[in-house]
Amino acid sequence: MSYLRRPIDEMAAYTPGEQPAEGERVVKLNTNENPYPPSPRVLETLRALDPSRLRRYPNPMADKVRDLVAGLFGVGRENVVCANGSDELLSLVMRAFVGEGDAVAWPTPTYSLYPVLARVQAAEAVEVPTREDFSVAVEALAAARAKALLLCNPNAPTGVLTPPDAVDALAARFNGVVVVDEAYVDFADAHCMGLATRRPNVLVLRTLSKSYSLAGLRFGYAVGPADLIEGLVKVKDSYNCDAVSIELAAAALADPAWMQTNADRIRAERTRLSERLAALGFAVTPSQANFLLARVPAGGDGRPWYEALKARGILVRYWNLPRLADRLRITVGTPQENDALLAALQTLRKEVTP
Ligand SMILES: *Cc1c(COP(=O)(O)O)cnc(C)c1O
C-alpha cells in the first residue's frame, strides 16, 4: 500500500534532460538552452541589488514585470500573470481549467511534461497525432472534446510552427481553453500573441528560459483575457516569483534588442547546421525553434548515436518513443559547438551505421 494518491503512485516522473556537474566540460546541446549570455543589464541589476530586499516578501504579482509585458504587447496589466517559469504556468493552467476526470488535449509528439501534468491532475489525456511531416492536425484537434488544449508552438521536439491563422481557426472552433506554449517563439517567423486578447479562450505562455538566456532564473508569463488570468492568479502561490527573479526578469525584458540579436544568430546557425546534417545523411525536420529534430542515416535507431556522442562529451536528446526513436533532438549551439557535433557525427557515421 502507498500513502500517495493513486495517480501519483502509478505515474512515471518527468525526466528532465541531464545537467552536467559544475565544472564538467561538455558540449551541451540537449535542453535547448541559449548558448549566449543574457543581457549585461541582468548582471548589472544583480550586482546592484539591495540585500535588504530579501528580508521582505516580494510584490505578489510581480507588477514591475507585468507592466513591462503589458507595454511590450499593448495589453493591460490585468491580462498578464507572471510565474516561476512556463512550467509553473502549465501547472496553474491545469489546476485552474482541468479537474479530476476532465479531458485535456494536445498533439503528439509534444513537450513531454504535458502528460505528466495531466496524470497529476488525474485528468484524461486526449492525444491527437500530428501528420507524417509532424504538422499539427488542426481539424482533429479542434474537434477534441476537452477542457483545455495544450499547443506548443513552435512545437517541441519537432520545431514545427502552426501558423497563427490556423491557431485562430482552431480557437474559434475548440470548446475550451487554447493554451499556446510559445517557449520557442522568438526563433520563429510568427507568433500568436494577437489572439491572446482577441479570443476569449486563448492564453499565450512565454518564458525567459530560451530566447532570453535565463533558464536558471525561472521566469515566465502568460497573456490572455482578464477572466482567465484571474483564474490563474487564484491558484498560484502568493509569492510565486521571488524578489531577485522579478528584478532580473525586468532587466532582461527591458533589453529585447539583446535577445533579438542572439535569436538571429541562432536562426542563422540553425540553417547552417541543418544543411550540414543533411549532407551527413540526416533527415532534418524544418524547424522554427532553437533545435533540430534529425532522423539518423540509414533508418537506424537514434540510441547508439546518442550514446556515442555522450561518450565524446556531446549531449543531445534521445527518446525511445514512437516516431522519435530513430531521431535525435539537437539544440542549436554556438558555431564552435555545432562544429564539434558535426565533426563527431562525421566520424561516427562510419562506426554506427550498419
Ligand atoms: C523549456 C520549455 C518550457 C519551460 O520553460 P520554463 O520557463 O523554463 O519552465 C515550457 N514549454 C516548453 C515547450 C519548453 O520547451
Please determine, for residue 354, whether its predicted confidence score (pLDDT) is greater than 60: no
Beta strands in the chain (DSSP E): 27-28, 80-83, 103-108, 124-129, 148-152, 177-181, 202-207, 220-223, 283-284, 291-295, 314-315, 327-331
Of 182, 187, 209, the residue with max ligand 1 atoms within 8 A of its CB, to mutate for a pocket test, comes to: 209
Express as a percent the part of the chain with pLDDT over 90. 93
Tell me what pLDDT residue 9 has: 93
Going from the Cα of 181 to the center of ligand 1, the distance in angstroms, rounded, reads 8
pTM value is: 0.97
DSSP 256-292: HHHHHHHHHHHHHHHHHHHHHHHHTT-EEPP-SSSEE
More confident residue, 148 or 197: 148
Mean pLDDT of the 212-220 span: 98
Average pLDDT score, the chain: 96
Residues within 6 Å of ligand 1 by CB: 32, 85-87, 111, 152, 156, 181, 183, 207, 209-210, 215, 220
Nearest atom, ligand 1, residue 85 CA: 7
Evaluate whether 6-37+258-352 and 40-256 have a shared fold: no
Mean pLDDT of the 200-211 span: 98
Mean pLDDT of the 171-178 span: 97
Tell me what pLDDT residue 311 has: 95
Segments making up each domain of the chain, as ranges:
6-37+258-352, 40-256
Ligand 1, atom 1: nearest CA belongs to which residue? Answer: 183
Tell me what pLDDT residue 216 has: 97
Going from the Cα of 207 to the center of ligand 1, the distance in angstroms, rounded, reads 7
325-335 confidence digits (pLDDT tens):
999 999 999 99
75-128 confidence digits (pLDDT tens):
999 999 999 999 999 999 999 999 999 999 999 999 999 999 999 999 999 999
Please determine, for residue 151, whether its predicted confidence score (pLDDT) is greater than 70: yes
Ligand 1, atom 15: nearest CA belongs to which residue? Answer: 183
Ligand 1, atom 12: nearest CA belongs to which residue? Answer: 183
Tell me what pLDDT residue 141 has: 96
Please determine, for residue 12, whether its predicted confidence score (pLDDT) is greater than 70: yes
Grid cell 507592466 in the structure block, residue = 67
272-317 confidence digits (pLDDT tens):
999 999 999 999 999 999 999 999 998 899 999 999 999 999 999 9
Decide if domain 40-256 falls under CATH 3.40.640.10: yes
Please determine, for residue 352, whether its predicted confidence score (pLDDT) is greater than 80: no
Decide if domain 6-37+258-352 falls under CATH 3.30.390.30: no
Q: How many CB atoms lie within 10 A of CB 235?
A: 13
What CA dihedral angle connects 92, 201, 155 and 73, to 10 degrees? -90
Determine the Cα–Cα distance for residues 223 and 253; give it in Å rounded to an integer: 15
Express as a percent the part of the chain with pLDDT over 70. 99
Strands 124-129 and 291-295 come out as unpaired
Sheet holding 291-295, edge to edge: 283-284, 291-295, 327-331
Of 210, 245, 329, 332, the residue with max ligand 1 atoms within 8 A of its CB, to mutate for a pocket test, comes to: 210
Ligand 1, atom 14: nearest CA belongs to which residue? Answer: 183
Nearest atom, ligand 1, residue 219 CA: 7
